[in-house]
């Protein structure tokens, strides 16, 4: 051993011994306003980190800055620095992927809990469930030895066609931020970093690798950034993922405005930026703009921009070694905070447990949205029912895996059919008929206008034999349930949908079923909006569920049978037709080389309300088996100043015999504003349990500062003085009470 290395080893021993003798102070836990223990990146290891960096060669530093396998950078073993390990993603910890290709590694111990997709979580409007989701999947990540979970995915849903709508939360920046923060905190409580993605304005899959997103500054600040800001500032997210697309001419992974000015300088972000896989396009620009780790697809890892080309740039003096140190330091800071360097005191986690399946169940149970329930067809009345016809491919379709992108290898995915069979009382027989099949035209790609998309082209002709079997089952049964909608092969990363039509001829099938049994219950399982206007008119009972995790089928059966009272509310607008949606009404999707967000701040319901366009089902909509009546609504004052918090109390009574939960929503309208404002904006919500026959007082509050708009001239948030109308209701359009307040 060379003298130098012996010396190095000695120093490392000292550094490490130093760290293990003294019991590590646990991560700094900060009790935030919400009372949740929020881990924060501590700088207490910085000295130790500086001494380690002083020992590292340029090669070792560069190894830490890029993927050296599909989901990890390179370890510096001689210094005791392990790899930083990563795994997708939003649906749960992804199965182990081979080190040098996308092929599954073929492990037999990488089974995990499949959690409800983002849309489902958002539809619960329950921040406690978001925390529970984070904690649960955080435990799974830790147990799988993953330091970074590539989740949550929180881009705004701009178009209903978006391929990743199912993964994303919502069209509303406030709901987005409120659901993101507890999730992040929950994950990070487990010594696992989140990777908040995809930063930013990654709102379409079409041309996602190259499209230049042009969005005005005010819209950027008010709509597309709030959840990212909350992730950085409130939740202390340890990592962000730089998106594929460009923003105002620069790729997001080499965008100094987004990575340095906003993220680090304005928001004070201390974590790391990891590129989306193969989203780096230039060594110097990207590193100097603030990307810390380049991850990517399987070209030889030494050919990555942050590999040999980086070494050459340093050798030529084009990039300073101090620049490398800056990024290595950030990465080590995250690693020390996660206790991955010496492993002392690191949480152990657990995976694939019954407890975690029940976490997935709890979220799924609160996510199901009851869209229509004429004559109280639901919950199912089983008196005298001997046979139930269950129709549709979606009764048996599994969604943990499928399509392009991250899924979960799970030991449990209860399908709707299994859920129902398991929950129905003895003596009720189920007759299942597939009715329609998931079929695609071979070698064809979907087309939107004159743009070819990557997605599959569904075959929409029904197969007569399957239809006959289905209709026979309906004729021979006392009750009918149709499971329709979509799946993860059809709604998929890397492609937007070409239309809102239900695929595979389902609409025709449902109409035929309804002709025989007008009271057939129609259940949609999907991630994003579809054109269900005709079916909605023709059917009497309509339920909406999601790609809903390991226990999705049980949760759905419990809602249909009434053991669970539905309390989900739509996290986005269901339009009557595509052209009603803002990106399409303004003809500004999907663009070509660039896309301009012409609708500006009027995203989602903001557009529908301001432009007086009726949606089919509005943002925040969802029925219950209980009968909620809204009573008195009182604001704590009528005049406020800029530092105040507005507290609103509203009484909600449950005039039924079943317990229920209600997501009470508060919207604000700025009257007489000097600038364009949306007709209403969500500013608070509170999901509460209201027992049968009881009245509860529901507190809702927001800071006067939250009424601000972003003033682009002054580059700051401005609260206009004057009158604001507060509207409280059961959805964005079902307003139950109003009050006027004045800001002085």
Catalytic residue positions, numbered:
276
Q: Decide: 194 and 188 in contact? Cβ < 8 Å.
A: yes
What's the CA gap between 287 and 255, in Å, rounded?
10
Q: What CA dihedral angle connects 216, 219, 224 and 229, to 10 degrees?
A: 100
| Nearer residue to ligand BGC within complex by CB, 247 or 710 | 247
What's the CA gap between 464 and 448, in Å, rounded?
29
Q: Decide: 246 and 252 in contact? Cβ < 8 Å.
A: yes
**Count, residues in the chain:** 744
- Least Å distance between CB 93 and ligand BGC? 12
Contact between 212 and ligand BGC (CB under 6 A)?
Answer: no
Which of 63, 67, 89, 600 binds ligand BGC (CB under 6 A)? It is 89
Contact between 132 and ligand BGC (CB under 6 A)?
Answer: no
Contact between 406 and ligand BGC (CB under 6 A)?
Answer: yes
Closest CA to 115 of 96, 89, 87, 86: 89
Q: What CA dihedral angle connects 293, 297, 300 and 302, to 10 degrees?
A: -10
Contact between 197 and ligand BGC (CB under 6 A)?
Answer: yes
In eight-state DSSP terms, residue 252 is G
The beta strands (E) that lie in 80-178 are given as 86-88, 148-150
- Least Å distance between CB 555 and ligand BGC? 26
Backbone angles phi, psi at 738, to 5 degrees: -135, 150
End-to-end CA distance of the chain: 74
What's the CA gap between 449 and 536, in Å, rounded?
27
What's the CA gap between 742 and 672, in Å, rounded?
12
What's the CA gap between 656 and 557, in Å, rounded?
22
Contact between 150 and ligand BGC (CB under 6 A)?
Answer: yes
What's the CA gap between 687 and 178, in Å, rounded?
12
- Least Å distance between CB 408 and ligand BGC? 13
Positions in 489-508 near ligand BGC (CB under 6 A):
none
| Nearer residue to ligand BGC within complex by CB, 168 or 357 | 168
Contact between 88 and ligand BGC (CB under 6 A)?
Answer: yes
Contact between 609 and ligand BGC (CB under 6 A)?
Answer: no
Contact between 237 and ligand BGC (CB under 6 A)?
Answer: no
Binding mask 249-288 for ligand BGC (x = CB under 6 A): ---------------------------xx-----------
CA 439 to chain centre: 28
* HEC letters along 404-439: CCCCCCCCCCCCHHHHHHHHCCCCCEEEEECCCCCC
In eight-state DSSP terms, residue 319 is S
- Least Å distance between CB 178 and ligand BGC? 22
Contact between 147 and ligand BGC (CB under 6 A)?
Answer: no
Q: How many residues bind ligand BGC (CB under 6 A)?
A: 7
CB atoms within 10 A of CB 742: 13
Contact between 523 and ligand BGC (CB under 6 A)?
Answer: no
Positions in 699-718 near ligand BGC (CB under 6 A):
none
Mode of pairing for the β-strands spanning 660-670 and 681-690:
antiparallel
Task: State yes or no: cis peptide before 89, omega within 30 of 0.
Answer: yes
- Least Å distance between CB 277 and ligand BGC? 4
Interface ranges with ligand BGC (CB under 6 A): 88-89, 150, 197, 276-277, 406
């Amino acid at each position: 051993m060379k003298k130098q290395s012996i010396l190095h080893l000695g120093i490392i021993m000292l550094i490490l011994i130093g760290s293990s003798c003294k019991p590590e102070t646990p991560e700094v836990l900060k009790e935030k306003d919400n009372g949740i223990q929020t881990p924060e990146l501590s700088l207490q290891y910085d000295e130790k980190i500086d001494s380690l960096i002083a020992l590292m060669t340029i090669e070792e530093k560069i190894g830490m800055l890029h993927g050296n396998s599909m989901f990890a950078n390179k370890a510096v073993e001689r210094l005791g620095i392990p790899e930083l390990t990563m795994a997708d993603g939003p649906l749960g910890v992804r199965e182990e992927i081979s080190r040098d290709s996308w092929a599954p590694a073929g492990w037999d111990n990488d089974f995990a809990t499949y959690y409800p997709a983002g849309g489902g979580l958002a539809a619960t409007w329950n921040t406690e469930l978001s925390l529970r989701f984070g904690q649960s999947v955080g435990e799974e990540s830790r147990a799988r030895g993953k330091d970074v979970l590539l989740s949550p995915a929180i881009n705004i849903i701009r178009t209903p066609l978006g391929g990743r709508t199912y993964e994303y939360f919502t069209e509303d920046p406030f709901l987005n931020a409120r659901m993101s923060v507890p999730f992040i905190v929950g994950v990070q409580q487990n010594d696992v970093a989140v990777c908040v993605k995809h930063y930013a304005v990654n709102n379409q899959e079409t041309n996602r690798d190259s499209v230049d997103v042009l969005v005005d500054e005010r819209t950027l600040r008010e709509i597309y950034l709030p959840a990212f800001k909350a992730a950085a500032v409130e939740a202390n997210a340890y990592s962000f993922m730089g998106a594929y697309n460009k923003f105002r001419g620069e790729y997001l992974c080499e965008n100094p405005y987004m990575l340095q000015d906003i993220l680090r300088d304005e928001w004070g972000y201390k974590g790391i930026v990891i590129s989306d896989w193969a989203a780096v396009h230039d060594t110097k620009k990207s590193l100097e703009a603030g990307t810390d780790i380049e991850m990517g697809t399987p070209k030889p890892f030494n050919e990555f921009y942050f590999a040999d080309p980086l070494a050459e740039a340093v050798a030529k003096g084009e990039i300073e070694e101090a620049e490398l140190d800056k990024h290595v330091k950030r990465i080590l800071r995250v690693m020390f905070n996660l206790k991955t360097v010496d492993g002392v005191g690191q949480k152990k986690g657990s995976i694939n447990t019954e407890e975690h399946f029940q976490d997935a169940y709890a979220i799924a149970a609160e996510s199901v949205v009851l869209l229509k329930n004429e004559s109280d067809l639901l919950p199912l009345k089983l008196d005298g029912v001997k046979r139930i016809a269950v129709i549709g491919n979606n009764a048996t379709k599994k969604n943990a895996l499928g399509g392009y992108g991250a899924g979960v290898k799970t030991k449990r995915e209860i399908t709707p059919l299994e859920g129902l069979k398991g929950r129905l009382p003895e003596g009720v027989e189920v007759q299942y008929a597939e009715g329609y099949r998931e079929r695609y035209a071979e070698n064809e790609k979907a087309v939107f206008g004159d743009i070819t998309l990557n997605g599959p082209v569904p075959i929409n002709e029904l197969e007569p034999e399957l239809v006959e079997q289905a209709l026979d089952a309906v004729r021979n049964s006392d009750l009918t349930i149709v499971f329709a909608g979509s799946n993860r092969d059809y709604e998929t990363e890397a492609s937007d949908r070409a239309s809102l039509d239900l695929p595979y001829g389902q609409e025709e099938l449902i109409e035929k079923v309804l002709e025989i049994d007008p009271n057939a219950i129609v259940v949609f399982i999907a991630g994003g909006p579809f054109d269900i206007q005709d079916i909605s008119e023709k059917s009497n009972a309509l339920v909406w569920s999601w790609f809903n995790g390991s226990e999705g089928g049980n949760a759905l059966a419990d809602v249909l049978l009434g053991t669970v009272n539905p309390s989900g509310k739509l996290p986005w607008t269901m339009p009557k037709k595509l052209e009603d949606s803002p990106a399409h009404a303004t003809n500004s999707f999907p663009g070509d080389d660039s896309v301009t967000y012409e609708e500006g701040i009027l995203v989602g319901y903001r557009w529908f309300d301001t432009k007086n366009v009726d949606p089919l089902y509005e943002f925040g909509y969802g029925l219950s088996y209980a009968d909620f009546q809204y009573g008195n609504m009182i604001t704590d004052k009528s005049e406020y100043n800029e530092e105040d918090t507005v507290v609103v109390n509203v009484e909600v009574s449950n005039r039924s015999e079943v317990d229920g939960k209600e997501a009470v929503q508060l919207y604000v309208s700025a009257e007489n504003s000097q600038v364009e404002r949306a007709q209403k904006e969500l500013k608070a919500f509170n999901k509460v349990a209201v027992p049968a026959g009881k009245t509860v007082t529901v507190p809702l509050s927001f800071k006067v500062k939250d009424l601000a708009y972003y003033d682009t001239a002054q580059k700051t948030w401005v609260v206009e003085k004057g009158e604001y109308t507060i509207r409280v209701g059961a959805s964005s359009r079902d307003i139950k009470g109003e009050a006027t307040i004045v800001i002085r």
